[in-house]
Structure 1
Amino acid sequence: MSFDYSYFYELAKDILTTPSPSGYTHIVIDKIKNYADELGLKSFKTNKGNLIVEFEGEDSNKTLALSAHVDTLGLMVRSINSDGTLAITSIGGNQMMTLQGEYCKVHTRDQKTYTGTILSTSPSSHVYEDCARKGQTADELMIRLDEVVHSKDDALALGIQNGDFISIDPKTTITDSGFIKSRHIDDKISVSIIFTVFKYLLENNKKPNYNIKFIISTYEEIGHGAAHLPSSIDRMIAVDMGCIGKDLSCTEYDVSICAKDSSGPYDYQMVSELIEISKKYNLGYAVDVYPFYGSDASAALRAGHDIQAALIGPGVHASHGVERTHIDGCTNTMKLLHAYLTEIKF
């Protein structure tokens, strides 16, 4: 089995470097719709901005939903300070201490974009005695704009206002040793994984066993990404980042199979099937319990959908910070997903 890794890397880098904090996802969704069009797959946008990509299966009597979210962590302008710097509020669960010194972009309501830097409110060790202690919370951070501003009125004159979205520079890097380093690997890498599997199926004239509806969600980071599903979904696999650290067994080289997260256990039968496939094909895999985690499948179940659901994904180190995964973990996820789509009957 040979996936098109050039395609995978191209797609991953394109969407990783496209700003899309939760609530500001229309640009990246349009890009992904173009990728679906290029593969000849039908897709449509929902009212809330999710994209549903359809892949016809051998048996149209049942439908398997896949999900991956394209919204990311980000910031928003809370207010404009008297000196023209910007006070911020967090979108999603940022590790605020990792944001000091990061470059960012401010996206105004009139379609302008300004660059800036996220800094502590005591940004100079030569000036502020508390410099080393500041920057742990949103209240202790600010945006320094790369524009000549001296006052609140100067910032307002640029068209910046309260409620403008701020995206964080992902610093996307792909190393010769196979590591993918970037903010927002969670969960844009999974979108790239699923499209790469779809491309493999199409190029090899293969169909999944059942109809697939791939839900690319846009509000996962704030809890309701796939709360609404298309009709007639029987099963759902959320493809999202696998957790690494503490007593977890997953590494960046594995596909993680989540048995339970903060929303509770995932479907016993589906989890067991995913484990058996991983054993059958000698995949690098891990089964883990995520202590502080919820997925698109969690949102769908909480919304009352009568589905069986599971959660898998490549191991991602330092989640919600400066993240990293490896091509081996992505490949193991592709192989597990491919086998599940083409071999499992339900």
Structure 2
Amino acid sequence: MSCLTIAIPTFQRAKYLDICLASLEKNMPQTIQDDIEVLVIDNNSQDNTAEIIKKHQISMNIRYIRNKENIGPDENFKKCITKATSQYVWIFGDDDVFFPTTLENIIDILKSKETIGLIHLRAKNFYDDADILDYHVQTFSCIHMASKENFVAKIHTNITFISANIVNKEILLKTINLKDIPNNNLGQMYWNIICILKSDLNIFVTNEAFGARQFNSGSYNLCEVFGKNFIDMLYFINLKYPISSFIEIYIKRLLMFYLPANIVRIRNGLSKVECKGCFKILYTKYKFRIYFWIFTVPAMILPKKIALFIVKQIEIILKKKNS
């Protein structure tokens, strides 16, 4: 029986799914094929997704499930969990790509460690396929983090990034009912946090372990999703599972860097994400938070080129600190 299910939810992106599956086929050696289940759940695409699946099924074992109707992205993500047959589930974006040796490293971790709650993988962002043609992952460098607060702080908003997190399905389904999770584009954040909470072993992989295609997500409002819904979801989880320490970590980091940096990128035309009504949304939630006034508000009102220069300098400092 496989120990890892790679579950790929997809809808109307046959072109990118083709590239994704080709990278999986290329980078899954025969020695670990029995350890991996490949599952694609199609949310009723009307393009040539089914043809792409058939093409790759010639040389790779793929379970293909096509929904009779579009059930929305949240429910499709949940279906990836319920339909997976392995203990560990890696929901992988249909426009992201696999790197050489990543799968061998992951299987080695899963087979050599005691029960793991969550494995977090860093992504290598790319804009064009040529950017990652020769990228190669060496042996994984892993941090085994006993402190759940430190683990959450290190992942931060990437707790919402499906391709960056491998979860323990057994822990998840023993703890929660997926039907109880709101459909607000952040359901994966709920089950990722539960897996972290319910395990004494969570692993942060410091390597850039897969390719994440940039500027390809559907449009959403940054401040609505990450300024409001993100925090609301944390408070919702907190009703059943005490995570008040997590909430304070997230709010501080959101207001100090994540929201300001992304607001500045949007103002400079470097992101497809929207930022309508930003001040009004954030003021309502954070008007009594000093970090809002010191860091977030200046990102909205400073001349955009000056604000971008400041963000880039901060990113350089952070990169040196984390290297």
Q: What TM-score do the two structures reach when normalised by structure 2?
A: 0.29
Q: Greater strand share, 1 or 2?
A: 1
Q: What TM-score do the two structures reach when normalised by structure 1?
A: 0.28
